[in-house]
Amino acid sequence: MESYLAELNDAQRAPVLQKDGAMIVIAGAGSGKTRVLTYRIAYLMSKGVDPFNILSLTFTNKAAREMKKRIAQIVGNSEAKNLWMGTFHSIFAKMLRFEADKLGYPSNFTIYDTQDSQRLISAIIKEMGLDKDVYKYKQVYSRISSFKNSLITVKAYFQNPELIEADAMSKKPRMGEIYKNYVERCFKAGAMDFDDLLLKTNELLNRFPDVLHKYQNRFRYILVDEYQDTNHSQYLIVKALSDKFQNICVVGDDAQSIYAFRGANINNILNFQKDYENVQMYRLEQNYRSTNNIVQAANSIIDKNKTKLEKVVWTANDDGPKIVVNRLLTDGEEGRFVASSIFENRMQNQLNNGDFAILYRTNAQSRAMEDALRKREIPYRIYGGLSFYQRKEIKDVLSYLRLLVNPNDEEALKRVINYPARGIGSTTIDKLTIVANQYGRSIFEVIENMDQLDLKINSGTRNKLANFVNMIKSFRILNENADAFTVADTVAKKTGLVQELKKDGTPEGIARIENIEELLNGIRDFVEGQKELADATGSLTEFLEDVALATDMDKDTGDDDRVALMTIHLAKGLEFPYVYIVGMEEDLFPSAMSMNTRTELEEERRLFYVALTRAEKQAYLTYTQSRYRWGKLVDAEPSRFIEEIEAKFLDYMIPQDDYKYKPLIDTDIFGDEIDKSKFRQSKPKAGTPPPAHKPSEEQLRKLRKLRPATPAPGATQNTDGVKLNVGDRVEHIRFGKGAVLNIEGVGQDKKAEIDFENGGIKKLLLRFAKLKLL
């Protein structure tokens, strides 16, 4: 037996040694599921499977890198580099680059991050003259996201009376139109949002059998980690790709399904056996991660859930210390307790900062922890907050880069056309937007052609616009020959961005310049790193894709020694010797937003199970007696989840029956006295009810039948060179069918007056308008 196989127990070895066929490994936390995937890949390679034929989907790109590293050690050569391994989004973004033209996209399409998408939706809501308090852009965004993840295209939406009615009932009758406009604008901008990366992959595999066959043949072996949290769109991709060879291995734990709120579907794991032939089911039972106390306590929690697969999890590890529970007065005190506990543990047990994690339910809780850690001078790192790449100055540079790669990228253009200020005001941009929408073209193209278009813009502004476009074009030319670093460096300087910050002169301005330098360093490293890879060149497009998909978890090289702060959702799959779970209070955890149904409460409980099972040696649970929530200081009650753990696993630092508030005077984090009489006594109102428009299971089942997406909006023929005559019938992507009433001008300036069904009479520049002759 190869020696690495001895690093597995019998139960783990079985799925590793089953080379072919469909298999599912269902097992509790810390039982070695991820290890099975890693060793299975190494085993396949040792049996002669070409790494190019293996596709492995992970929860973070960091996990993928670590797996690759381990595999490289086992197989002992550089072949592991050729594995396709990463998150769904990064893998399929890469695939879409090769195939983009089939869907009418340029291969250098932009990836819109959440912020870009939300800005665009916000702009559309404004342009449509809708009330932004009714049509809240974030809500609209997540509604559109849920359509996409259920593969409900714009066309499918308009064919579904139930969805239309649900939106009308929730006072958003124009949701469908917003969706339609959003999809068109993204397409026109040559941009895909995060959900598109999955939706368009489905569209591609569904509409182009030859493409499907190509990738089916390529990915003969498919492996998926954290299968319990795949959404419908991801499920269909995996199903389609594995359909031919059926060599598929998925691992997961139904008790760790925590992304239902984002469309993850636990049924994917429950139905796996029906989806493939001769499915082998494996179970792992031994936990290697945690102490016996932690394993038993976690078991006692998940036992309370009614919906679950019965599983055994045990460990041969020592009992270890009990789980410490502590009650603090305020979140400031909670922070101080956690910081000093970390400090003491680190000293006493000779540990590193990286051995500690602080986990919380919501990002806002990090502030109190940060304050306390800073005071104690304990280095920390926050994951999932505003990441480096979302900082303003970084997004400004990146927007220039995005724009030079893809001039149609509207969100990038709007961000930088007047930054640094060059006298192009918002009225001008509005005018350009209106004309761009009329023609179904991008703002950049409108500026390029402004001399022939009927724009009410004075010659001074026209000059400024022309200068801007010329500058971007000069960067494009540079990009043809220079590497990504040189281009980015030139952009930072020539656009005036750096000068602008230098002028500012404040410490913040200086910090921003340093950030830009850091970005440039990062690009240099990236270019160097990419050169080593077989299928990469170190181009700007590759860099931008990497950035768009990187979470800051991915950037963590583990080089610097810091305490990790993150939400429990982000902690999935990770492990730390010491874990502090803070804010263990009713209405916070379980969240007030998720206590309305048993299903929601059970998901919160699974979340707690995930949190606790991250700990290897010791876990701490803390809660406060009062906390600022919704702007008010409110009394807090300990979370029911604490009481759900069998008492024998807990070690209370306070008397157990002492839940009532005792001291009348205490001090807050600033040492000021807190006057208890100011505390609100009543409990806060539970959060807003769930949205009434959530489709029923029945509706979703109907919708989930894969439908081909709407044809690409810009796929109509351009009339360039088409000789239109008065009386001809034409079709326009926005205004629909129409009749040509009049023609004027010649050559490049030729314009037609057309009476459209949906838009009335419009005069359009023919060279520019996307018209189809009927």
Binding site for ligand ATP (CB under 6 A): 7-9, 12, 27, 29-35, 253, 256, 288-289, 573, 575, 613
Least separation in angstroms between residue 354's CB and ligand ATP is 15
Task: Between 34 and 317, name the residue whose CB sits nearer to Mg ion.
Answer: 34
Which residue is closest to Mg ion by CB?
Answer: 34
Phi, psi of 354 (to 5 degrees): -65, -5
Residue 679 interface partner, choices Mg ion, ligand ATP, none, CB cut-off 5-8 Å depending on type: none
Residue 261 interface partner, choices Mg ion, ligand ATP, none, CB cut-off 5-8 Å depending on type: none
Strand locations in 213-354, DSSP E? Answer: 221-224, 248-252, 280-284, 323-328
- Residue 621: strand pairing partners: 325, 581
33 is in an annotated binding site: yes
Task: Between 182 and 609, name the residue whose CB sits nearer to ligand ATP.
Answer: 609
Active site residue 226: yes
Residues 6+ apart with CB under 8 A from 697: none
Q: How far apart are CA 297 and CA 299, in angstroms?
A: 5
Question: Which of 31, 34, 293, 639 is the binder for Mg ion (CB under 5 A)?
Answer: 34
Q: How far apart are CA 715 and CA 711, in angstroms?
A: 7
DSSP conformation class of 723: -
- Ranges within 728-767 binding Mg ion (CB under 5 A): none
SS3 10: helix
**How many Cα atoms are found within 13 Å in the side-chain-facing hemisphere of 446?**
26
Least separation in angstroms between residue 29's CB and ligand ATP is 4
Residue 288 interface partner, choices ligand ATP, Mg ion, none, CB cut-off 5-8 Å depending on type: ligand ATP
Task: Between 330 and 613, name the residue whose CB sits nearer to ligand ATP.
Answer: 613
Least separation in angstroms between residue 38's CB and ligand ATP is 8
Residue 253 interface partner, choices ligand ATP, Mg ion, none, CB cut-off 5-8 Å depending on type: ligand ATP
- In the numeric block, the tokens 């182009």 are attached to 208
Least separation in angstroms between residue 509's CB and ligand ATP is 43
User: Do 708 and 202 meet the contact criterion of CB atoms below 8 Å apart?
Assistant: no
Residue 30 interface partner, choices ligand ATP, Mg ion, none, CB cut-off 5-8 Å depending on type: ligand ATP
Task: Between 453 and 574, name the residue whose CB sits nearer to Mg ion.
Answer: 574
CB atoms within 10 A of CB 682: 7
Using the contact rule CB under 5 A, the part of the chain among 25-33, 529-537, 559-567, 716-724 near Mg ion is: 25-33
Least separation in angstroms between residue 317's CB and Mg ion is 17
The residue from 12, 34, 230, 296 that is catalytic is 34
29 is in an annotated binding site: yes
The residue from 256, 291, 710, 716 that is catalytic is 256
Cα 599 to the center of its chain, rounded Å:
24
The residue from 35, 395, 614, 770 that is catalytic is 614
- Reading the block at residue 73, the tokens are 């050690």
The residue from 13, 33, 414, 606 that is catalytic is 33
- Reading the block at residue 18, the tokens are 């089953």
Compute the C-alpha angle 748/752/755, nearest 5°: 160
- Ranges within 82-121 binding Mg ion (CB under 5 A): none
Task: Tell me the site size for Mg ion, rule CB under 5 A.
Answer: 3
Binding mask 684-703 for Mg ion (x = CB under 5 A): --------------------
Q: How far apart are CA 94 and CA 228, in angstroms?
A: 24
Nearest to 753 by CA among 740, 766, 772, 765: 740
Task: Between 224 and 636, name the residue whose CB sits nearer to Mg ion.
Answer: 224
The residue from 113, 226, 253, 552 that is catalytic is 226
User: Do 271 and 239 meet the contact criterion of CB atoms below 8 Å apart?
Assistant: no
Task: Between 613 and 618, name the residue whose CB sits nearer to ligand ATP.
Answer: 613
Least separation in angstroms between residue 173's CB and ligand ATP is 44
- Ranges within 546-605 binding Mg ion (CB under 5 A): 573
User: Do 291 and 319 meet the contact criterion of CB atoms below 8 Å apart?
Assistant: yes
Task: Between 34 and 719, name the residue whose CB sits nearer to Mg ion.
Answer: 34
Task: Between 153 and 287, name the residue whose CB sits nearer to Mg ion.
Answer: 287
Residue 693 interface partner, choices ligand ATP, Mg ion, none, CB cut-off 5-8 Å depending on type: none
Least separation in angstroms between residue 27's CB and ligand ATP is 6
The residue from 225, 355, 396, 587 that is catalytic is 225
Q: How far apart are CA 428 and CA 405, in angstroms?
A: 24
Residue 8 interface partner, choices Mg ion, ligand ATP, none, CB cut-off 5-8 Å depending on type: ligand ATP
Task: Between 253 and 546, name the residue whose CB sits nearer to ligand ATP.
Answer: 253
Active site residue 606: no
Using the contact rule CB under 5 A, the part of the chain among 29-37, 125-133, 582-590, 763-771 near Mg ion is: 29-37
H-assigned helices in 410-458: 410-416, 426-439, 443-448
Q: How far apart are CA 264 and CA 253, in angstroms?
A: 13
Residue 289 interface partner, choices ligand ATP, Mg ion, none, CB cut-off 5-8 Å depending on type: ligand ATP
Residue 103 interface partner, choices Mg ion, ligand ATP, none, CB cut-off 5-8 Å depending on type: none
Least separation in angstroms between residue 734's CB and ligand ATP is 48
Phi, psi of 581 (to 5 degrees): -105, 115
CB atoms within 10 A of CB 534: 8
Task: Between 573 and 695, name the residue whose CB sits nearer to ligand ATP.
Answer: 573
Least separation in angstroms between residue 335's CB and ligand ATP is 27
User: Do 710 and 104 meet the contact criterion of CB atoms below 8 Å apart?
Assistant: no
DSSP conformation class of 50: -
622 is in an annotated binding site: no
DSSP conformation class of 561: -
Q: How far apart are CA 650 and CA 457, in angstroms?
A: 72
Residues 6+ apart with CB under 8 A from 52: 82, 84, 218
Residues 6+ apart with CB under 8 A from 380: 353, 358, 369, 370, 373, 562, 563, 564, 565
Burial tier of 764 (Cβ tally within 10 Å: 0-12, 13-18, 19+): buried
| C-alpha dist (Å) from residue 421 to 88, 428, 499 | 39, 14, 12
Least separation in angstroms between residue 31's CB and ligand ATP is 4
Task: Between 289 and 512, name the residue whose CB sits nearer to ligand ATP.
Answer: 289
Residue 652 interface partner, choices Mg ion, ligand ATP, none, CB cut-off 5-8 Å depending on type: none
Least separation in angstroms between residue 574's CB and ligand ATP is 8
Q: Strands 84-86 and 110-112: what pairing?
A: unpaired
- Residue 324: strand pairing partners: 620, 651
Q: How far apart are CA 71 and CA 54, in angstroms?
A: 13
- In the numeric block, the tokens 């610097």 are attached to 560
Query: Is 265 near Mg ion (CB under 5 A)?
Result: no
Residue 23 interface partner, choices Mg ion, ligand ATP, none, CB cut-off 5-8 Å depending on type: none
34 is in an annotated binding site: yes
Q: Strands 248-252 and 356-360: what pairing?
A: unpaired
CB atoms within 10 A of CB 406: 24
Residues 6+ apart with CB under 8 A from 712: 103, 104, 187
Nearest to 571 by CA among 739, 363, 721, 292: 363
31 is in an annotated binding site: yes
Question: Residues forming the annotated binding site for ATP?
Answer: 27-34
Give me the active site residues, please. Answer: 33-34, 225-226, 256, 614
Query: Which residues contribute to the site for Mg ion (CB under 5 A)?
Result: 33-34, 573
Question: Residues forming the annotated binding site?
Answer: 27-34
